[in-house]
Amino acid sequence: MAKEIAGERFGSSKKTRQDMLGSFVAHGLTQKEASSEILMQILAGSDTTATAIRATLLHLITNPRVLATLRAEIERFRPSWPVVKEAEARKMAYLQAVIKEGLRIFPPVVGQMSKEVPKGGDTFKGVHLPEG
């Protein structure tokens, strides 16, 4: 699939698009390099997403209270089935908290989430942390 997509961007009947791959090609990426980059993006994107989902589900099934609270919220909202629309999911505060906590506890990519001590500082395990 990656070779096929890359092949569309090179040759006599190449497609030019204003996207990330188009930028790479415009800046001199070869067809072989483009194919490799496409494969890397597909694998990296799917693996990190799967890791985040697995970790969050693991935490949910090992914490019955949290799972019950989440299920109750979903039942209250009764979103469209079988797929919950983004606008519906954004209205579910507990679901949003579960997602954010899952990513905080087991981030699939480390170092990308901001860490900031609230205004006035905070104390963690007896150690005062200044704001910022």
- Taking 80 as the threshold, does the pLDDT of residue 113 lie above it? no
How is the chain split into domains, by residue range? 2-111
What was the pLDDT predicted at 46? 66
Can you say how many angstroms the Cα of residue 85 is from the centroid of all Cα atoms in its chain? 17
User: For position 67, what pLDDT does the model report?
Assistant: 97
Q: What is the mean pLDDT of residues 104-128?
A: 78
Say what the pTM is: 0.52
pLDDT at 58 over 90: yes
Highest mean pLDDT among 14-23, 49-58, 81-90: 49-58
Higher-confidence residue of 112 and 117: namely 117
Omega cis (within 30) before 108: no
Residues 5-18: what's their mean pLDDT? 82
Torsion, Cα of 22, 27, 28, 32 (10° steps):
-40
pLDDT tens string 18-39: 888 888 888 888 888 888 887 8
Q: Is the pLDDT of residue 81 over 80?
A: no
Residue 11 tokens read as 């040759």
